[in-house]
Structure 1
Amino acid sequence: MGRTLVIGDIHGGLKALQQVFERAEVTDDDQLIFLGDYVDGWSESSGVIRFLMGLSEKQECILIKGNHDAWTEDWLLAGTGPDVWLFNGGQSTVESYADYSQQDKEIHLDFFQKMKNYHVDSQNRLFIHAGYSSMHGPEKEVYSSNYRWDRTLWETAVAMDKKLAKNSEFYPKRLLLYHEIFIGHTPTLYIGSKAPVNKANIWNMDTGAAFTGALSVMDIDTKECWQSDPLPLLYPYEKGRNA
């Protein structure tokens, strides 16, 4: 049996994904859990999707859908996208598909449509892009967009008193539902960390690859972590989402 590895937000950084896989010595025996936001940022968004499609054919991959993936899925389906998406990395994604045939775009659309909103493993560990607001868990979420947009779960964990006991009546009920929760969406750079951050029972794997940070991979059992070089070093002539 191989390892179970969780991967943070990629944002079009194919070079970073390939580099960190080399550093983590990823093999076909490893189970890979991707937390979403594969696109929008650096210039190789379509290349990331093509790479993941090939990877999924040879080993077990669980792909969670992020907010940027949902935007790109809508664009592939309708041929247009909102300005807010284009201004937040979407334009680079559109450009990365410039040489694709309609048939190839439809194959990629099908890949996006098959992504999961969240995943719970046999050890009651939750993998979700952003979060959920329901105290009963994501399966009871009223708005499915929260899977891809909610930041209150992470904000709650960051703001918590470290001395608060799990049996306290004030301990957030949402956090008691799972043994561990793995998320992306909110860069750890915002709280001054270049590495994955653990707050309460949440691990935040978004280490800012869309901006000035690196792409991170973690063994969910041992918590050993590997990182790529910062993305601006791998794409020195691009701005990512820093424009």
Structure 2
Amino acid sequence: MGRKLAIGDIHGGLRGLVQLLERIDLTPEDQLIFLGDYVDGWSDSANTVTYLIELAKQNSCIFIRGNHDDLAHRWLETGELNQKWLEHGGQSSIDAYRNFSEDEIKAHLKFFSEMFNYYKDDQERLFVHAGFTNLHGPDFEYHETGFYWDRTLWEMALSLNENLQPDHQFYPKRLQHFEEIFIGHTPVTRIGETTPVHKANIWNVDTGAAFKGPVSAIDVNTKEIYQSDPVHELYPGESGRN
């Protein structure tokens, strides 16, 4: 029986991902759940997608859609350019695809289109890039963009009184649907942390790979944490999203 590993935001930092998987000592029995944002940041955005496509032929992989993945997908498919996207890593993805063939881009479009907005396992654990807003759970969400854009789930967990118990009438209903929730999207470096952070029943696995942090993974059963070196150290001369 292999491990089930949730992996946080990568942002084109393929060297960090490869180093992370080496440190995990990955086996074909391990299942990998990627929490989104594979592109936009370091120069290997397109190469990261190619690597993940090949990795999925060897391991059971679930790819969650991140907001940067959605924006890059829109550009690849229609040429849509979002100014905010360009300012926050999109240009690195445009540059990364310059020498890709039509067939390679076609394979990448298939990869982007087949991502999941969220995934629930058989132990009542949710895996989603950003969060959800509907009090009845993600299955009742009105707009799918919330899954990869909304930050209020994490903000709520950060502000929650730690003494408030799940059976209390004021305990957030959104948190009561799952035993655990694994997210990315909001770097924990914003609160001065460099390893995945646990608040309420949420684990945030985005450790700032787009900036000065590493790519991180967590064994969802044992809570063992694995990390690459800070990704910016693996891309000397580049600025990422700094």
TM-score range, shorter chain: over 0.9
**For residue 192 of structure 2, what is the aligned residue in structure 1?**
192
**For residue 31 of structure 2, what is the aligned residue in structure 1?**
31
- The amino acid of 2:155's aligned partner reads E
**Counterparts of 1:23 and 1:54 in 2: how far apart (Å)?**
19
Q: Which moved more, 1:123-132 or 1:164-173?
A: 164-173
**For residue 94 of structure 1, what is the aligned residue in structure 2?**
94
- The amino acid of 1:50's aligned partner reads T
- What's the CA shift for 1:103? 2.4
**For residue 218 of structure 1, what is the aligned residue in structure 2?**
218
Find the residue that maps to 1:57 and give its secondary structure.
Answer: coil
**Counterparts of 1:56 and 1:226 in 2: how far apart (Å)?**
20
**For residue 231 of structure 2, what is the aligned residue in structure 1?**
231
**Counterparts of 1:9 and 1:161 in 2: how far apart (Å)?**
27
Q: Answer whether contact 1:130 1:185 (CA < 8 A) is retained.
A: yes
**For residue 135 of structure 2, what is the aligned residue in structure 1?**
135
- The amino acid of 1:38's aligned partner reads Y
Report matched runs for 1:125-204 at 5 Å: 125-204=125-204
Gaps of at least 5 residues in structure 1 are none
- What's the CA shift for 1:197? 0.1
Find the residue that maps to 2:57 and give its secondary structure.
Answer: helix
- Is 1:62 the counterpart of 2:85? The answer is no
- What's the CA shift for 1:232? 1.2
**For residue 16 of structure 1, what is the aligned residue in structure 2?**
16
- Is 1:76 the counterpart of 2:76? The answer is yes
- What's the CA shift for 1:163? 0.4
Percent identity (aligned): 52
Q: Answer whether contact 1:35 1:127 (CA < 8 A) is retained.
A: yes
Deviations 1:193-223 (A, max 9, x none): 0000000000000000000111101110000
- The amino acid of 2:234's aligned partner reads L
Give me the CA root mean square deviation.
0.7
Deviations 1:69-106 (A, max 9, x none): 00011011012321111111010001111111222211
TM-score relative to the length of structure 2: 0.99
Find the residue that maps to 2:56 and give its secondary structure.
Answer: helix
What is the number of residues matched between the two proteins?
242
Q: Answer whether contact 1:36 1:65 (CA < 8 A) is retained.
A: yes
Find the residue that maps to 1:9 and give its secondary structure.
Answer: coil
Deviant stretches of 4+, over 4 Å: none
Find the residue that maps to 1:81 and give its secondary structure.
Answer: coil
**Counterparts of 1:239 and 1:153 in 2: how far apart (Å)?**
30
Deviations 1:111-142 (A, max 9, x none): 10000000000001000000001011111011
Q: Answer whether contact 1:76 1:106 (CA < 8 A) is retained.
A: no
**Counterparts of 1:25 and 1:101 in 2: how far apart (Å)?**
32
- The amino acid of 1:41's aligned partner reads G
**Counterparts of 1:13 and 1:167 in 2: how far apart (Å)?**
41
- What's the CA shift for 1:165? 1.3
**For residue 48 of structure 2, what is the aligned residue in structure 1?**
48
Q: Answer whether contact 1:20 1:216 (CA < 8 A) is retained.
A: yes
Find the residue that maps to 2:206 and give its secondary structure.
Answer: coil
Find the residue that maps to 2:51 and give its secondary structure.
Answer: helix
Find the residue that maps to 2:106 and give its secondary structure.
Answer: helix
**For residue 208 of structure 1, what is the aligned residue in structure 2?**
208
Deviations 1:7-59 (A, max 9, x none): 00000000000001111111111000000000000000011100000011121
TM-score relative to the length of structure 1: 0.98
- The amino acid of 1:122's aligned partner reads D
Find the residue that maps to 2:5 and give its secondary structure.
Answer: strand
**Counterparts of 2:180 and 2:60 in 1: how far apart (Å)?**
21
